[in-house]
Amino acid sequence: MTHVEILDAARGRAGGYKVDVSRGERIGRVSSEWFSRPADERYLSLSDLYAAVYGRTERSRTRTVESAAIWVDASRDDAERLALMLPGSDAPIAPTHWSFGQLAGLVGAPSAYLRQLPAPLAGINLQYGLTSHRAEQVKTLEIEDGRVELRAVTGPDYGRIFDHELVSAVQRIAGNGTGDTRWKVPGVLDWSTGIYNPRVDITQDTTTLYASDRDVFLFLVDDLNPIEAGRLPDGSPDLYFRGFYCWNSEVGAKTLGMASFYLRAVCQNRNLWGVEDFEEITIRHSKYAASRFAHEAAPALTRFANSSPLPFVNGIRAAREMIVARSDEDRSDFLRKRGFSKAETAKIIETVMAEEGRKPESVFDFVQGITAVARDKTQQDARLDLEARAKKLLDRAA
């Protein structure tokens, strides 16, 4: 059996295959999205997702206006009503919760405080901030859907990348995201058997395609084509598959970004297990963001989607073959020289002993021990630090 192939022989019950999720990193980013999304933010295909985010762009317009020319309209008869009159508009525009916060932030007003005030008082404070706004100009994103709403207010140099542009870039490599290409919504790990089943119906409970009025988030995998990268202690293949997730906010709620990686499984609540070779890029919505997306982010996603897994497999093999410690003294020296404390060193070696049934010898052994210890860290900064140090070791061995 070669190092890179579709491993029909490794497939188990229900068309799945056996995986070892005790190795590598656990990443909870997708799970956090999965937990927080209501039903109306979940989509069952990329075409449905694209239609939703493109449709709102079609109903939207962007323009730059003088901040001093914005008139705050607040009614004494309705303490909850506050609207804006923008230059060139015939009717008042209602700010969303998000854009109101952005507007308050731009003029240096505390949005939480303003929201507690009656509309006339909040309007007076906001009007004063707008007329004395030093930057003088703001960029608006307005949408008409029964009534005109102000979706976003940013500085004039904000480089907007629309959500549909990201979804379209993903569609070019993933089709509908439902299995019409190799890239699809992930399957589910059966914890009772250790079998990962890639063939699971896409429902609102299993989908990983999300969009709200503020953002879009997508997670897809190539889990019908597992890759062998070495062997487990029992002699069975250590199986991985490729995955990526990406995100964006056209209203300024977050950056545009994408992450690519190899992983061993996805569980029902969408935690990623056994992750290796995690790479992430982000693009701020600055003046040249659209150009950077076109020339950096989208091509990077395409390269990963079409790339051979050979470099990854060879890197894992090199790390497995690079023996760096044959004695207890070697093991301690190897870790201590790389900045690990005495307690961390003991914990890493102990963890490898418990999970592998032997003491660490290769770079790969130490990397697995470090990432296993990182999984138990409750503080995110400490966990990320350990995972970064493990990746640095692995990269040097490749």
The pLDDT of residue 3 is above 50: no
Residue 64 CA neighbour count, 13 Å, CB half: 9
| Pair 189, 21: CB distance under 8 Å | yes
Residue 186 above 60 pLDDT? yes
**What percent of the chain is predicted at pLDDT more than 70?**
94
pLDDT digits (tens, 9 = 90+) for 365-393: 888 888 888 877 878 788 878 888 888 88
In this structure, how many other beta carbons lie within 10 angstroms of the beta carbon of residue 235?
6
User: In this predicted structure, what is the pLDDT of residue 5?
Assistant: 41
Q: What is the pLDDT of residues 352-362, one digit of tens each?
A: 888 778 888 88
- Average pLDDT, rounded, for the chain: 86
Q: Does residue 270 come out as left (phi exceeding 0), alpha (psi in the -120 to 50 range) or beta?
A: left
Kindly report which listed range (119-133, 147-161, 326-340) carries the lowest average pLDDT score.
119-133
| Beta carbons of 184 and 220 less than 8 angstroms apart | yes
Q: What is the DSSP string of 290-322?
A: HHHIIIIIHHHHHHHHH--SHHHHHHHHHHHH-
Q: What is the pLDDT of residue 23?
A: 84
Distance CA 71, CA 129 (A): 11
Reported pTM: 0.81
Q: Measured in Å, how far apart are the chain's first and last C-alpha atoms?
A: 22
Query: Mean pLDDT over residues 6-14, rounded?
Result: 44
pLDDT digits (tens, 9 = 90+) for 41-74: 999 999 999 999 999 999 999 988 888 888 888 7
pLDDT tier, 266 (very low <50, low <70, confident <90, very high otherwise): very high
| Closest by CA position to 155, among listed 252, 58, 88 | 252
Q: Is the confidence at residue 76, as pLDDT, over 60?
A: no
User: In this structure, what token pair is assigned to residue 212?
Assistant: 């709200």
Is residue 79's pLDDT more than 70?
no
Q: Looking at per-residue confidence, does 233 or 347 come out higher?
A: 347
- Alpha-carbon gap, residue 33 to 43, rounded angstroms: 13
Neighbours of 159 (CB within 10 A): 18
Instruction: State the pLDDT at residue 77.
Output: 55
Measured CA angle at 283 (ends 384, 242), to 5 deg: 60
Query: Model confidence at 285, in pLDDT bands (50, 70, 90)?
Result: confident
Q: What is the mean pLDDT of residues 21-36?
A: 92
Structure confidence at residue 392 (pLDDT): 83
Which of residues 208 and 157 earns the better pLDDT score? 208
Q: What would the two tokens of residue 178 be?
A: 């439902």
Query: Quick count: other Cβ atoms within 10 Å of Cβ 132?
Result: 11
